Structure 1
Amino acid sequence: MNQNFPDESGWGAWLDRRLKPLFRSPDIIEAADYPTWRHHFMHRRLGLGLWLALIAYSTFSISQLNNLLFYPQQFRIEWLITQIVVEVGLIVGVVLLRSAIGRRRPELIFLLLSWLVTLSPQIRGTLLGISQPAIVEWPLTFFSQATLVPVLWPLHLISQLGVLVYYFGSRIIFNLDVRFPADWMTQDFLVLYFFWICVICNLSVYLYDRLARSEFQSRRALERAYEQVKIEQERSETLLLNILPHPIAERLKQDRTTIADSFTHSGVLFADIVGFTELAGKFDPSQLVHLLNGIFSEFDALADRHNLEKIKTIGDAYMVVSGLPLPQDDYAEAIADMALDMQHALRDFNIKTNQDFKIRIGIATGPVIAGVIGLKKFIYDLWGDTVNIASRMESHGIADEIQVTEDTYEVLKDSYRFERRGAITIKGKGEMTTYLLKGKR
């Protein structure tokens, strides 16, 4: 089967694909305002009108050639010449429509198309010394224009008045012999006939123009509302992702049931500003919040850099975790690097702000349970012995030091430098051997 042509069942779709670009209106979103949209709409529809007129006149020319070959008594050479002149003019109109002039002033092409079709037979009659109203050609042109280009009714009125002015003016100026298409037709009938044709055409164009303007404005309002909804949705999405990890947020949007996952390998870090409660009395509330926000913003940036998940802040305490919600092989290294960078960041912050903040950090590695519980003001939180031990590592730690468990030390000892602190008593766990993380090897 030839793939260039559709099968019988697909002719409708094939024809629709080829004609749709000619009939479709310009995209409303692309137009800044209704006059701009109307301008593009007229330009597109004029292209369709010119081609339809050219095809129609070609059929009339073929009919005259057929008369010349087979019915010589019905052949009219003056008709054929007129038709050829109109066809040439339509081709010129197609070319002009694609030029800068046509794109800028399609109204001129509209008048060219209108008067080329309606006045060519009248000019032919003037040259022959007669004046005959075209009760078929004029209404057909006016109704076609109102159908194909139903905007700017004053332009339609100008094109119609131009035809009538030429008809009556040429009769008076050149004292032409008047011929009506039928014996029963009178001057009064002709005037009323074209008066009501023009009224109907212009009224239909006016009503369509108003409807198109209203639809344009409604569509633009709808687009603006949609854009606003989209902005609000993105803002809500951003806020949600600032509260929950992206995978958890997606799961929560799809299913509001309790989310709880177990992770075998994770690293939990607690950090606390040493003596912050005592320092708080030295600052006014706004200055205090500003300083704390500056410190924690630095920590947030570090968490993103190391691909860690910030869990929460409680007062001057900061909690971050590695290895979840997506498991990672270097969870221990990532949490250790985070702790070291937090120390460096706080030192830099003290230099910039002329402060003397100190930080105490505790780290534990091992299994945890992570999830979201509750219905209101939920957060992504952690549970398990590893979380409790990490909290104890911080609370029983030393200022400006990073205290880790023995399990964490065993995982990291080949790549990082440690100082053995020894056994300390941990509430609920008894004595535990801990180490102080000093840096990378």
Structure 2
Amino acid sequence: MIKPTDTDKEQLDIFLKQVMSHWQNPASIFDSYTTQRQKMMLDRLRLQAQIMLIVGLTVIAFFLWVNVQAAGKISAFKIGLVVELMIGACWFLCQNNFGRRYPQIIFLTLCWSVTCIAQIATALFFNFVEPRIGILILMFLTQATMVPVLWHLHLISQIGTITCYLVLYFFYNSTLKYPFTYYVEQGIYLFWTCIICNFSVYLYEKLRKNEYNTRKELELAQEKSERLLLNILPEMIAEKLKHQHTTIADSFHEVSVLFADLVGFTELSSNIPPQRLVELLNEIFTIFDKLAEHHQIEKIKTIGDAYMAVAGLPIPRSDHAQAIAYMALDMQKAINKFNQERNLSFCIRIGISTDPVVAGVIGLKKFAYDLWGDTVNTASRMESHGLAGCIQVCEASHQCLKEKFVLEKRGLIKIKGKGEMMTYLLKSAIAN
């Protein structure tokens, strides 16, 4: 597979971002659900702290207005100021590493700064405690609405609030200020508020987790389809195919095409089981694929026991002929090594041609990137009219390779449909 240049990599990165944005994914699939939930929790806590600061100012203003006595106003102001400072501290912590590491602590602190600190301060200043159900319900509903994560965290904040009230009530209230039924009624309201909040958070998070898993499955399927598509088509062509619904065809001024065929493979197929035959062919072509990737050459297709590759497209390169020549020589070495390791006698015949081609994708189903032109026909003829174990090249390829490779003149041979052509056998690369 051709390795793109830096410019092509940038274009591919832009393309992949467009693919991901198509799925409208708010977070990377490489983030775990826990990581995404923690990020959302921190963002919501920041917003909640800001809103609570504004609400606190209105509450302070209210108490300053309704308390006639100066002492009462001062006490209410002090309580409100302490609560505001706690909320402000939570908002500040949300901006740094502490908030990113411990958002659960900020969650509980925000809740208890309103429900517990206010109760404790009221007990200290006024020496009594009464259930302010309105404030508690508002706090619990606010957090369930704005920070709907980890229902057990909501439960902890609620139990902490109720425990704080009961402890303070035991120490500061010797007698009931209101009828017993009043406290029972308030307790029922608070109980069902907590149940509804926790159940709502549980259902919300369950839904979000299901959505996350579904989105991740879709993205993994999309990623898999991308990999499959890039295994079939070059990156640039795959990108064009996504955005272009017409025929994709490009002309290339000069490329080098290679055809390779396993000599005697047809005869061998009659002597070994078909499954074993396919396994051997797969092993050989897998080796060729790795060589193509190493030499930055584009594999086009396989036809039976024939292998076709090209250098110089879809990204043009000036050293296309040299690259395809190195590929051919390495294919010969690979076959020899393959035979030695498995005690086999495969022989490969290779043909190379250099000149213009047209490349593209046609049709509606089973897309394949293919080449057309006289260069392709010539490369095929160089292979089919070549010699077993040899690499035969045409005159155009010879002109590109003669400075860096050892070539042996084979002479004029009659090529079907082409007449007589001067051909050469590629032997080796000239040592530097």
The alignment's TM-score, normalised by the length of structure 1, stands at 0.73
Q: Which of 237, 252, 272 is matched with 1:248 structurally?
A: 237
Q: Which of 183, 208, 215 is matched with 2:197 structurally?
A: 208
2:140 maps to a residue whose letter is A
Task: Report deviation, 1:124.
Answer: 5.1
Change (3 A) 1:355 1:123: same
Whether 2:34 is the aligned partner of 1:32: answer yes
After the TM superposition, which of the residue ranges 332-341 and 94-103 deviates more from structure 2? 94-103
Change (3 A) 1:222 1:81: closer
Checking the alignment, whether the CA contact within 8 Å between 2:123 and 2:172 is kept in structure 1 is no
Checking the alignment, whether the CA contact within 8 Å between 2:60 and 2:80 is kept in structure 1 is no
Task: Report deviation, 1:36.
Answer: 8.3
The answer for the alignment partner of 1:141 in structure 2 is 135
After the TM superposition, which of the residue ranges 193-202 and 262-271 deviates more from structure 2? 193-202
The answer for the alignment partner of 2:254 in structure 1 is 265
The answer for the alignment partner of 2:119 in structure 1 is 118
The answer for the alignment partner of 2:347 in structure 1 is 358
The answer for the alignment partner of 1:16 in structure 2 is none
Task: Report deviation, 1:63.
Answer: 8.2
**Partners of 1:308 and 1:96 in 2: CA distance:** 58
The answer for the alignment partner of 1:283 in structure 2 is 272
The answer for the alignment partner of 1:428 in structure 2 is 417
Task: Report deviation, 1:142.
Answer: 2.4
Whether 2:360 is the aligned partner of 1:371: answer yes
Residue aligned with 1:262, SS? strand
Task: Report deviation, 1:328.
Answer: 1.2
**Partners of 1:59 and 1:109 in 2: CA distance:** 20
Larger RCO (CA within 8 A; separation ≥ 6): 2
Percent identity between matched residues is 38
CA RMSD of aligned residues (A): 4.0
**Partners of 1:288 and 1:232 in 2: CA distance:** 32
The answer for the alignment partner of 2:219 in structure 1 is 230
Task: Report deviation, 1:44.
Answer: 6.9
Task: Report deviation, 1:282.
Answer: 3.0
**Partners of 2:351 and 2:88 in 1: CA distance:** 79
Q: Which of 309, 331, 338 is matched with 2:298 structurally?
A: 309
The answer for the alignment partner of 1:75 in structure 2 is 70
Checking the alignment, whether the CA contact within 8 Å between 1:61 and 1:84 is kept in structure 2 is no
1:32 maps to a residue whose letter is T
Q: Which of 302, 316, 322 is matched with 1:327 structurally?
A: 316
Residue aligned with 2:355, SS? strand
Cα deviation per residue 1:395-431 (whole Å; 9 max; x = unaligned)? 1111110011122212221221111111211111122
Residue aligned with 2:396, SS? helix
Change (3 A) 1:57 1:306: same
The answer for the alignment partner of 1:12 in structure 2 is none
The answer for the alignment partner of 1:392 in structure 2 is 381
Residue aligned with 1:295, SS? helix
Residue aligned with 1:366, SS? strand
Checking the alignment, whether the CA contact within 8 Å between 2:33 and 2:209 is kept in structure 1 is no
**Partners of 1:410 and 1:395 in 2: CA distance:** 21
Change (3 A) 1:202 1:385: same
Cα deviation per residue 1:235-280 (whole Å; 9 max; x = unaligned)? 1111111111111111111112112222221111110001001112
2:281 maps to a residue whose letter is L
The answer for the alignment partner of 2:19 in structure 1 is none
Task: Report deviation, 1:79.
Answer: 6.9
**Partners of 2:276 and 2:231 in 1: CA distance:** 24
2:223 maps to a residue whose letter is E
Structure having the higher Rg = 1
2:293 maps to a residue whose letter is D
Checking the alignment, whether the CA contact within 8 Å between 1:50 and 1:113 is kept in structure 2 is no
Checking the alignment, whether the CA contact within 8 Å between 2:260 and 2:308 is kept in structure 1 is yes
Residue aligned with 2:353, SS? strand
**Partners of 2:208 and 2:110 in 1: CA distance:** 29
Residue aligned with 2:314, SS? coil
Task: Report deviation, 1:144.
Answer: 4.0
Cα deviation per residue 1:112-141 (whole Å; 9 max; x = unaligned)? 753442354445555xxxx6x758xx2453
Gapped runs of 5+ residues in structure 1?
A: 1-26, 68-72, 181-186
Task: Report deviation, 1:339.
Answer: 0.8
Residue aligned with 1:311, SS? strand
Checking the alignment, whether the CA contact within 8 Å between 2:115 and 2:135 is kept in structure 1 is yes
Residue aligned with 1:355, SS? coil
